[in-house]
Structure 1
Amino acid sequence: MSTIYPINDNYLDNNIKQLEKLENQKLNNNEKIIVYTKGAPEIILSKSKYIDDNGIIKEIDENTKKTINSKIEDMTKSALRVIGFGYKILDKDKFKNLNDNEIEENLIFCGLVGMIDPPKDKTKESIDKCKDAGIRVVMITGDHKDTAKAVAEELGILTNGKIITGEELNKLSNEEYSKICEDIQVYARVYPEQKVRIVETLKSMGNIVSMTGDGVNDAPALKKASIGVAMGGGTDVAKESSDMILQNDDFSTIVKAIEEGRKIFDNIKRFVKFQVSTNIDAILTIVGASIINIPLPFNPIQILWINIIMDGPPAQSLGNEGPEKNLMHRKPENGEILEKRDYLRIIIFGLTMAIGTLGLFIYELKSNQSLGINECKTKAMTVAFTVFVVYQLFSAYCNKSNSTVKNRAFTISILISFILQLAVIYISPLQTIFRTTGLDIIDWISIFIVAFTIFIVEYILRKTVFKK
């Protein structure tokens, strides 16, 4: 029986797509070095001069190679990951004088193994969601071109037939590659350094690139990507190079993260739009009163109340809004909190609320002159103060999403804000602090009619300027 002593174990060389193991064996009292090789089947086959046919070593002819290549093609087209195996026996004395290339030549081909690594159940569904959301999914793999093609077609990634190998990519200049980069959906037999080139080229064309990976060789590309995503079961190097780690190694989790990110971003925009429109309204109302030379409709304590108590809860509760119905059917946005259309909406809202507040304030000043100067002013300021608050509550409602998920926090915050406003108007100690007075039913009807104009403006904007 031979005694086996492993003397070397070379790691996978991505440039030649093979791995070698050298063993020192004693065969018939002669010391031999046996080179065991596995890797890309087409590479192993191209370096094989002989074939092990059930223990009989014979020279491999072209017909046999064609048969093996045909088998490789059949296996890869069935989405199998195929590995070729070969070996070589060398005299120990001769081995010392051979370089790596000579060691790898004239192998004895001994067979193929096909393995299937089926995609997870929800992967295709997640990729379809990405397409709906305007996100282009590209497959980059070290697998055989036919294997990559079969898997990509199964997942719906490959739709236009654009697939390229690492060898073909190497032949393209940066300019040539840039012209076709956006059309390529699958990269096969890719080398690690090519992943970096792919990411850099996509980024140079204005794309936000997210890269997933789990191996040491993925680390440079993960670091170059706009968002590097490492698998939870990946290497420490890959995790350290990434911005995000998937604990469950599931592609669908990335899609869920995108959906959650879009929802959060939408809610931030709602918060900002609501707060800015409130401040614009207050500024326009006060400036407008100064321009037309009438008393200010609010006193300092009322303005403080509006900013801290009335705007705070509704604005914060907008951050709990559920996702829009079309959230994952929209193209990615440019990342700006406020777009041009948002500024237009804020200005129109501000003008509407300022005109309504000042108009009702002037009306109250003129219609209540019989009450006396102080009482008339207090009544008019209370009405203006209240219509301003109701405007803000209605404006907050206009900023809600069309989500089917109920936002109870929003409803509660609106009710609390309105109850607090009633307390300021009708509770005597608070009337003294805020300089308010009680309002009758006619006043409330006027307040709600005027404040309702914000819904009319919102409806007109959605049907005209902001119609999608």
Structure 2
Amino acid sequence: MVLITLKGAPDFILSRCSTYKTDCDEDTLPMTDEFRTILQQRQETLGESGYRVIAMIQQKLTKRRYDAMMESYRAGKSHPQSPEESSSSVLDLNGLPADNYCFIGMFALLDPARLEVPEAVLKARHAHIRVAMVTGDHPTTAAAIAKKVNIFTKEVSIDGGIDKFKIEYNSETQETVAHFLRNTHTLLERHIVEDLTTPTNIKGIKSVSNPRKKSNIFKRLWNGFLYYLRDPNQVKSVKKLDIIPYGVIVTGSDMHSMDEHMWDWVLSHREIVFARTSPEQKLQIVMAFSKRGEVVAVTGDGTNDAPALKQADLGVAMAAGTEVAKEAGDLILLDNNFSSIISAIEMGRLLSDNLKKVAIYLLPGGTWSEVIPVLVSTWMGIPLSLSLFLGVVFCMFNDIVNSLAMVSEKAEQDIMSRPPAIRHKTHLIDWKLLVHAYLIMGNIECFTAFFCFFWYYASEGIPVSSIFFTYASFGTNPPIDKSADELNSILQTGQSIYYVSLCIMQMFNLISTRTRYVSFFKHNPFFGKTRNLTICIGVVFSTSVGLLITLVPWFNSVFKTKPVPVKYICPALGFGVGLFVFDEVRKFLVRRYPKSFLAKIAW
């Protein structure tokens, strides 16, 4: 005799049973509908507690019959199959019988989620990231696990309701009808399934609306110019679905009946669970999300996860997973910890924030306030307010150290409560940042430095009217009662005043741009979790460089700098405080009115 034993999900293998074994000896009884119902109810009860249920069935065969079945199977495999046979949905059991098994029992496995997963899912939700579960478990088990790990939350799915759909075929009208249900009983919509379509947005393939129609020559030239400015990974803008505050469960066996309307309905839910899914269906889910404008990250550790990992925008494989999964993924979690993904998201947002802060710190002083003096001197004929040497020192010493200090900033309190960046709209340097850096911060700093520069000239008896549009005739037309050496000394002192004033304004810019929306007083660099002593070191270093350049006689004689009278840089302190207060008020209004126009143009 040959004893064949199979195990698998009860809802798949119970249909192969014709008898079941009782608790008494070796007695078997015919499998009845009532007994199947009892088993299904037992499976549902265990599944609601988060258990994975596995059924065991067996069948006894004579050795002669078993050998004949294996021989017939091998003979069938040796002949080429027709397309109809190869595409058949009949499960290949490697020559074993497909039915007439005896049910011998079920056992339940409890595979609890790691302790850090529920909190990590809540952090992802707080960061406006939807977490969908895609599993091979029974829908009841999947729903129970989803509730434990906060994928199904009390506020949305438990209190609001869990949706699902039921597929029926109407033989009279020859139509497939989908009933959208809430909490199993409430009918939301009756939908007639149309022609089934499979999402075709494959990674690396771009779709065009009409490839045969050529645009006009000007549009082609413009697109050719933009080609060198665009992000090569930029995707086509797709209007995202409106999210509804409910959960939904979809089983893999129903996915083959879903048309585009049903996909839109399913993926518009805030909380989603896919159960009893195959590797092909996991891939289909990723493609469906991508087609609707979502940036998709997939985690997995098995070989069956490899297609979805490869197709996703970001495939995250586990270090303990299979080699196939690790090859398909874009990165590997060495600690096999889901919460590490949330930490990586936070770190990515922090790096993006700090790079923006560095840019908005460098642009006002390092470009705007140094380029404007050259332009004003060229176009309006005034003496150059910032010498070449002081401009180089400002860029290479004062700004560099402070910008490096900005890189080590800690994350702001609201960094994980902001919506993710929109892929085709958000850039590191966008128009919002440029407007704030140049038109606001840059103009304030440049105005302050020029104010101090012209104030010093006026105090030396040289009015503004004697400075503008003089070009090479400065000091002679109109005449100024100063010798050439005196005018040269005044110019050198004025340039040093402009340089020191700019350094002071950049220090206030530094402490203002440390945060994008959070107040400086809640994110101070001196103590607490947000402490960043490199900011203090940068300020001390910048001050030391300024004093060294303007007060040391050797620098004065070699590089034509002068000591700076303190009273002429006092306005920079006042304007700097005003700049700080202005930015604090801006941040407060952005926090208080997050949907206002000011918040929309905030960098």
* Deviation of 1:108 (Å): 1.0
- TM-score calculated relative to the size of structure 1: 0.88
Superposed, 1:319-358 pairs within 5 Å as 319-334=407-422, 335-347=426-438, 348-358=440-450
| Residue deviations 1:21-79 (CA, integer Å, cap 9, x gap) | xxxxxxxxxxx333211111111211111112232223212221111111111111111
Give the corresponding residue for 2:167: none
CA contact (8 A) 1:383 1:447 kept: no
Instruction: Find the residue that maps to 1:329 and give its secondary structure.
Output: coil
1:397 paired with 2:515, answer no
Aligned amino acid, residue 134 of structure 1: H
Partners in 2 of 1:204 and 1:351 — Cα distance? 44
Instruction: Find the residue that maps to 1:104 and give its secondary structure.
Output: coil
Partners in 2 of 1:218 and 1:49 — Cα distance? 35
Partners in 2 of 1:289 and 1:359 — Cα distance? 15
Which stretch of the first structure deviates more once superposed, 75-84 or 55-64?
55-64
CA contact (8 A) 1:353 1:391 kept: yes
Give the corresponding residue for 1:427: 552
Partners in 2 of 1:452 and 1:378 — Cα distance? 27
* Deviation of 1:440 (Å): 2.9
Give the corresponding residue for 2:133: 139
1:190 to 253, 277, 296: 277
Partners in 1 of 2:551 and 2:111 — Cα distance? 71
Identity of aligned residues (%): 25
Structure 1 unaligned segments of length 5 or more: list them.
Answer: 1-31
Instruction: Find the residue that maps to 1:185 and give its secondary structure.
Output: strand
Give the corresponding residue for 1:290: 378
CA contact (8 A) 2:127 2:420 kept: yes
Give the corresponding residue for 1:250: 337
CA contact (8 A) 1:222 1:238 kept: yes
Give the corresponding residue for 1:201: 288
Give the corresponding residue for 2:198: none
CA contact (8 A) 1:34 1:89 kept: yes
CA contact (8 A) 2:448 2:571 kept: no
- TM-score calculated relative to the size of structure 2: 0.69
CA contact (8 A) 2:7 2:56 kept: yes
* Deviation of 1:246 (Å): 1.6
1:272 to 353, 359, 380: 359
* Deviation of 1:137 (Å): 0.6
1:227 paired with 2:196, answer no
* Deviation of 1:433 (Å): 3.2
* Deviation of 1:456 (Å): 4.1
2:573 to 443, 448, 463: 448
Partners in 2 of 1:293 and 1:365 — Cα distance? 15
CA contact (8 A) 1:284 1:351 kept: no
Partners in 1 of 2:266 and 2:32 — Cα distance? 39
* Deviation of 1:139 (Å): 0.4
CA contact (8 A) 2:290 2:296 kept: yes
Give the corresponding residue for 1:87: 58
* Deviation of 1:420 (Å): 1.1
Give the corresponding residue for 2:10: 41
Give the corresponding residue for 1:162: 248
Aligned amino acid, residue 43 of structure 1: F
Partners in 2 of 1:378 and 1:459 — Cα distance? 35
1:105 to 99, 113, 121: 99
Partners in 2 of 1:190 and 1:90 — Cα distance? 33
CA contact (8 A) 1:166 1:191 kept: yes
* Deviation of 1:443 (Å): 2.6
Give the corresponding residue for 2:476: none
Aligned amino acid, residue 107 of structure 1: Y
CA contact (8 A) 1:298 1:385 kept: yes
Give the corresponding residue for 2:488: 374
Instruction: Find the residue that maps to 1:161 and give its secondary structure.
Output: strand
- Aligned-residue CA RMSD (Å): 2.0
* Deviation of 1:235 (Å): 0.7
Give the corresponding residue for 2:212: none
Give the corresponding residue for 1:128: 122
CA contact (8 A) 2:364 2:445 kept: no
Partners in 1 of 2:253 and 2:318 — Cα distance? 27
CA contact (8 A) 2:453 2:494 kept: yes
Instruction: Find the residue that maps to 2:268 and give its secondary structure.
Output: helix
Partners in 1 of 2:61 and 2:373 — Cα distance? 93
CA contact (8 A) 1:387 1:451 kept: no
Partners in 2 of 1:281 and 1:87 — Cα distance? 84
* Deviation of 1:310 (Å): 1.0
Give the corresponding residue for 1:462: 587
In structure 2, relative to structure 1, the CA distance for the partners of 1:463 and 1:80 (3 Å cut) is closer
CA contact (8 A) 1:230 1:244 kept: yes
Give the corresponding residue for 2:390: 302
* Deviation of 1:360 (Å): 1.8
* Deviation of 1:186 (Å): 0.3
Which stretch of the first structure deviates more once superposed, 314-323 or 357-366?
357-366
Partners in 2 of 1:388 and 1:311 — Cα distance? 11
Partners in 2 of 1:228 and 1:432 — Cα distance? 62
2:327 to 235, 240, 252: 240
Instruction: Find the residue that maps to 1:114 and give its secondary structure.
Output: strand
Partners in 1 of 2:570 and 2:369 — Cα distance? 22
Partners in 2 of 1:355 and 1:417 — Cα distance? 21
Aligned amino acid, residue 16 of structure 2: K
1:66 paired with 2:60, answer no
Instruction: Find the residue that maps to 1:229 and give its secondary structure.
Output: strand
In structure 2, relative to structure 1, the CA distance for the partners of 1:462 and 1:433 (3 Å cut) is farther
Instruction: Find the residue that maps to 2:37 and give its secondary structure.
Output: helix
CA contact (8 A) 1:285 1:357 kept: no
Aligned amino acid, residue 164 of structure 1: V
Partners in 2 of 1:170 and 1:138 — Cα distance? 19
Give the corresponding residue for 1:28: none
Aligned amino acid, residue 112 of structure 2: P
Partners in 2 of 1:443 and 1:233 — Cα distance? 66
Runs of 4+ in 1 over 4 A off after TM superposition: 98-102
Partners in 1 of 2:109 and 2:8 — Cα distance? 13
1:384 to 498, 515, 530: 498
CA contact (8 A) 2:448 2:572 kept: no
CA contact (8 A) 2:370 2:386 kept: no
Which stretch of the first structure deviates more once superposed, 136-145 or 112-121?
112-121
Partners in 1 of 2:146 and 2:585 — Cα distance? 46
CA contact (8 A) 1:84 1:113 kept: yes
Instruction: Find the residue that maps to 1:413 and give its secondary structure.
Output: helix
| Residue deviations 1:333-355 (CA, integer Å, cap 9, x gap) | 23411233212211211111112
CA contact (8 A) 1:341 1:466 kept: no
Partners in 1 of 2:351 and 2:548 — Cα distance? 34
